[in-house]
Chain A
Amino acid sequence: MSARRAWTGRGLRRERWHGYFFLAIPLLYLAGVVLLPLLEAVRSSTFRIRGLRATFVGLDNYARVLGDAAFWNALSVSFRFTAISVVLHLALGLGLAMLVAECGRTRTALRIALLTPWMVAPAIAATIWLWLLEPQFGVLNWLLRAAGLIAENRSWLGEPGLAFGAIVAVDVWRGVPFMMLLLGAGLATIPKEQYEAAAIDGAGALARFRHVTLPNLSYLLAVACTLDIINTVRQFDIVAVLTGGGPAGATEVLPALLYNTAFRGNDLGGGAAVGVLLLMIVLAFVSLYIALTGAARSDD
C-alpha cells in the first residue's frame, strides 16, 4: 500500500526526526515544569532542613523515615486504602455501567446524575461529607438510627476502624462515577453480535459476562486499573479534610504522612524522603503491572 512507500531509507530517518521534533516541545515543557522541581525535591531529601539552614546528611533522612513506625503504618494504610478503593471503583463502576447501558432513553440523564460526585472538587466533597458524618448533628447518624441500623450515634471519624471506612467510602463515592463513564464507553463498543452468539449457544447472564464482556474489556480494565491505582495512591485532599491522618494514624496514607512530616513536623527533608519513597513504590508497582499486562497483550 502507498503508506509503506514513505517509510524507507532516507525518508524513514527524516520522518523520525520530524517525530522527535513534535515530541520535543511537550517533553521540554514537561522537563522544565515537572522535572526540575522533582530533582530539587530529591536533592532536598538528602538534607536535614531546619528552615533556612540545611545540612547535607546523605541518606540519613531515608534511614530515619524507614526506621519510624509511622512510615510502615502509612504504607499499610495506603496499601489497604488503594487496594480496597480500586477494587470497589472498578467493580461498582462496571456494575453501574452495565445497569445504565440497559436503559434506553434515560441513559444520558442517568449518567449525568451519577457523575455529579466526580465533578465536585475533592476538598469540597470531603467538606460535605464532614458535615454528613458529624456525630451529634450530622444527618447520617440520624438516618441510620431512624432506620434501626445503629443503636446510638457513632463517631465516624473518631474511631480508627470507622474512620478508615469513612475515607474509603468517600473516595469510592467520588471515584466510581468516572469508572462508570470509562467502562460504559468500553461496553458500548462491544459488538452486540457477540452477545447474541453467546445467547444462542445457551450461555446465561453470568456466562455471557465472563466470556463476552470481560475479554473485550480486558485492555480497558487494565489501563483503568493502572490509572486508578496511581490516582488513589496520591489521594490526599479527602484524608486532609476528614481526618488529617487520625485518629491515631488510622487514616494516615503516605501523602498525608508526607505533608505531616514536612509541614507539621517541620522536617522538609524527611517529607521529601517520604515523597521519593512513595514515588519509587508506585513506580515499581506500576512498572511491574505494565510488564505483566504488556506481555499478555499482542501489539505494542
Chain B
Amino acid sequence: MIETTRRHMSKITGALAVTVLAGGLLAAPARAEPVTLQWQTANLTEPQFEPVWKQMIAEFEAANPDIHIEPILVARKDDWTKFVTAAQARRAPCVVQEDLATSAYNGYLMPLDRFWATEPAAFRAAYSDDIMAAMHWKGALYGVPIWGGVFAEIYNTDMLTAAGLDAAHPPTTIAEYLDWMRKLTKPGQWGTAVLGGPTDTTTRVLLTWIWANGGEAFNADMTKATFAADPKSLEAIKTYLGLVGQGLAAPSPNTTNYLEQTVLFEQGKIAAVRSAYWAIAKMLVDNPSLAGRMTVGPVPGNGATLALLAPASIASSCKYPDQAWKFIKFQAEKKWALERARVSDWMPLRNDMMDEPEIAQDPLLQRFMQIGLQARSYPLPHPAWAEIGGVDVVKAVQRALLDPAHTEQIFRDLDALLNKKLNDL
C-alpha cells in the first residue's frame, strides 16, 4: 500500500516535471522483438575474458535466435553497487554472477532447484558434492558453478636453481617453506610477498595459511570465529605475517594486492607467489620470458587450499527464467569450460574434464587441478562475508602488520567482532 502510494507520488511529480520540460522528452527504448537477457558479471571488463564472452554470446544467439544477450559492462569495484541498486528496484539483470550467500539472503536470486532437477543425471554428476554444497543457501540451489580458481604456490624456477633448491620437489611442510624463503632472500630480492592490500585477496591467502596448518578460522556452521581462538590458526597467522618482520617478504605489504604481487614476481623481485591459476596467464602476458620457467607446488602444510567458485545465477526479478537457464547451461558446457581455461585461465569445475586433451597437455593446469582436489570453496557461505572477508579480516591483517607485537590481541578482537556479525542475521 505504502509502496503504491509512493509510486503514485513519484509518478505524479515525474509527470509534472516531464510536462514542464516538454521540449526534451526522449522516448524510452522500444522493446526488441526477441527476448533480451541482461548479463552482468564483473569479469566482463577483464581483458582476458573478453574474447571468450564475445564468442559465447555470438554462438548462443546464433543457436537461439529468439534470445538476445545484453552484456552489462561495469568496473569490478562498482559491480556490486550496481547490482544491488537494480535488485532493490526489482530490475536486476537476468543472468548474474554475484556473491551467492549474500544475494540469496537478500532475496535477489531465484532458486534453481526446479531447473536442476530436470537436467540429465550426467550433467548433475559433473560437479562434486562439496562444490554443489557451496551453491546452496538454506537448502535451496542458487547457482551453477561455472569456473574457479585454485590457489597454489608458484615459484620462479631460475631463482630456485640459483639458490641451490630442487625445483622438482617444492616444499610440502611449513618448516621447509620457511627454509626455502630464507635461502631465496638476498639484497634486492625476497622470498615472497605478504598480501595486506584492501581487497579480499588478502583474506584468501591468509585462509590458505590457516587451513594448511590444520587450523580453522570459523566453526562448521559459521556462528563463531576462531582466528585467534584456534591455536593452529593463530600459529599460522603469526608465521605468515612474520615473514615481513623477518625480511623474507617484500616491503609495503599494506598496499600489496594481486596486481602488485604478480608484478613483483614478473620482475624477479620475489621468488614465490601464492596465487590462483589465472596469475600464470597474467604473468606470461606481462613477461613472456617466464614461459617454462615456473614451478607449481602445493600449499605447504597439509595440502588444504582454497578454490574461488564463480557461479551463474538467475535474479529473482527475471522475467524470462527459462531462457536464462538456457544461457547458463550453455556457459557450463565443456566447450566453454575449455575456452575459459585456454584463453582466460579460469579452471573448469566439472570433474569430467580431467582427461580432455587440452587439459592433459598443460602440465601447469594439470598440477593446479590436482592441487584443487583438496580445495575448500570460497567465498565462505555467510551473507556478511563481503564485509568480513573484504574489510574486517583485512583491517586485522593491516593492523597486525603495523603492530606485530600485538598480533594475538588484534585477532582476538577480530574474533569478538565477527562473533557479533555472524549472528546478526
Contact flag (A, B; Cβ within 8 A): yes
For window 203-235 of chain A, which residues contact chain B by CB distance below 8 Å? Answer: none
Given contacts A135-B252, A246-B394, whether A36 and B402 have CB atoms under 8 Å apart is no
Interface residue count for A (Cβ, 8 Å)?
38
For window 240-258 of chain A, which residues contact chain B by CB distance below 8 Å? Answer: 240, 243-249
Query: In the complex, are the beta carbons of B107 and A51 less than 8 A apart?
Result: yes
The 10 closest A-B pairs by CB, nearest first: A51-B106, A158-B254, A32-B13, A52-B107, A158-B255, A155-B252, A135-B252, A265-B387, A246-B198, A247-B398
Query: In the complex, are the beta carbons of B80 and A268 less than 8 A apart?
Result: no
Of the candidates A25, A36, A160, the one whose C-beta lies within 8 Å of that of B20 is A25
Query: In the complex, are the beta carbons of A51 and B108 less than 8 A apart?
Result: yes
B121 at the A/B interface (Cβ < 8 Å)? no
Query: In the complex, are the beta carbons of B254 and A155 less than 8 A apart?
Result: yes
How far is A153 from B13 in the complex, measured between Cα atoms in Å? Answer: 56
Q: Which residues of B contact A (CB under 8 A)?
A: 6, 9-10, 13-14, 16-17, 20, 77, 80-81, 84, 87-88, 90, 102-103, 105-108, 196-198, 251-255, 260, 263-264, 269, 316, 383-384, 386-387, 390-391, 394-395, 398-399, 402, 425
**B386 → chain A, closest Cβ, in Å?**
6
Residues of A within 8 A of B107 (CB): 50-53
How far is A158 from B197 in the complex, measured between Cα atoms in Å? Answer: 8
Given contacts A136-B263, A263-B80, whether A32 and B17 have CB atoms under 8 Å apart is yes
**B391 → chain A, closest Cβ, in Å?**
6
A190 at the A/B interface (Cβ < 8 Å)? no
**A46 → chain B, closest Cβ, in Å?**
12
Given contacts A51-B105, A264-B387, A266-B384, whether A158 and B16 have CB atoms under 8 Å apart is no
Given contacts A52-B108, A248-B398, whether A36 and B10 have CB atoms under 8 Å apart is yes
Query: In the complex, are the beta carbons of B260 and A136 less than 8 A apart?
Result: yes
**A65 → chain B, closest Cβ, in Å?**
14
How far is A153 from B188 in the complex, measured between Cα atoms in Å? Answer: 13
A22 at the A/B interface (Cβ < 8 Å)? no
Residues of B within 8 A of A243 (CB): 198
The contact sample of 24 A-B pairs, CB cut-off 8 A, is A28-B13, A28-B17, A29-B17, A31-B13, A50-B425, A52-B90, A52-B106, A52-B107, A53-B106, A53-B107, A134-B260, A135-B255, A136-B252, A136-B269, A153-B252, A158-B196, A158-B255, A246-B394, A246-B395, A247-B402, A263-B84, A264-B80, A266-B102, A266-B106
How far is A59 from B208 in the complex, measured between Cα atoms in Å? Answer: 41
Residues of A within 8 A of B251 (CB): 135, 152-153, 155
Query: In the complex, are the beta carbons of A29 and B102 less than 8 A apart?
Result: no
Nearest neighbor of A154 in chain B, beta-carbon distance = B252
Of the candidates A28, A159, A260, the one whose C-beta lies within 8 Å of that of B391 is A260
Nearest neighbor of B81 in chain A, beta-carbon distance = A263
A193 at the A/B interface (Cβ < 8 Å)? no
Query: In the complex, are the beta carbons of B253 and A158 less than 8 A apart?
Result: yes
Residues of B within 8 A of A157 (CB): 254-255
Of the candidates A32, A152, A266, the one whose C-beta lies within 8 Å of that of B387 is A266
**B257 → chain A, closest Cβ, in Å?**
11
Known: A52-B87, A52-B90, A264-B391. 6 other contacts (CB 8 A): A28-B13, A32-B16, A157-B255, A265-B384, A265-B386, A266-B386
Residues of A within 8 A of B10 (CB): 32, 36
**A48 → chain B, closest Cβ, in Å?**
10
How far is A248 from B383 in the complex, measured between Cα atoms in Å? Answer: 22
A137 at the A/B interface (Cβ < 8 Å)? yes
A300 at the A/B interface (Cβ < 8 Å)? no
A33 at the A/B interface (Cβ < 8 Å)? yes
**B304 → chain A, closest Cβ, in Å?**
28
Residues of B within 8 A of A246 (CB): 198, 394-395, 398
Query: In the complex, are the beta carbons of A137 and B391 less than 8 A apart?
Result: no
Query: In the complex, are the beta carbons of A264 and B16 less than 8 A apart?
Result: no
Of the candidates B80, B255, B383, the one whose C-beta lies within 8 Å of that of A155 is B255
Query: In the complex, are the beta carbons of A136 and B264 less than 8 A apart?
Result: yes
Residues of B within 8 A of A52 (CB): 87-88, 90, 106-108, 316
How far is A36 from B17 in the complex, measured between Cα atoms in Å? Answer: 13
How far is A117 from B88 in the complex, measured between Cα atoms in Å? Answer: 37
Of the candidates A29, A240, A247, A263, the one whose C-beta lies within 8 Å of that of B254 is A247
Residues of A within 8 A of B260 (CB): 134-136
How far is A33 from B10 in the complex, measured between Cα atoms in Å? Answer: 9
Given contacts A51-B108, A263-B81, whether A248 and B399 have CB atoms under 8 Å apart is yes
Residues of A within 8 A of B402 (CB): 159-160, 247-248
How far is A243 from B257 in the complex, measured between Cα atoms in Å? Answer: 12
A40 at the A/B interface (Cβ < 8 Å)? yes
Residues of A within 8 A of B269 (CB): 136
Residues of A within 8 A of B253 (CB): 158
Query: In the complex, are the beta carbons of A158 and B252 less than 8 A apart?
Result: yes
Residues of B within 8 A of A268 (CB): 84, 88
**B106 → chain A, closest Cβ, in Å?**
2
**A238 → chain B, closest Cβ, in Å?**
14
**A10 → chain B, closest Cβ, in Å?**
29
Of the candidates B6, B77, B254, the one whose C-beta lies within 8 Å of that of A159 is B254
How far is A96 from B108 in the complex, measured between Cα atoms in Å? Answer: 53
How far is A247 from B425 in the complex, measured between Cα atoms in Å? Answer: 27
Residues of B within 8 A of A136 (CB): 252, 260, 263-264, 269
Residues of A within 8 A of B386 (CB): 264-266
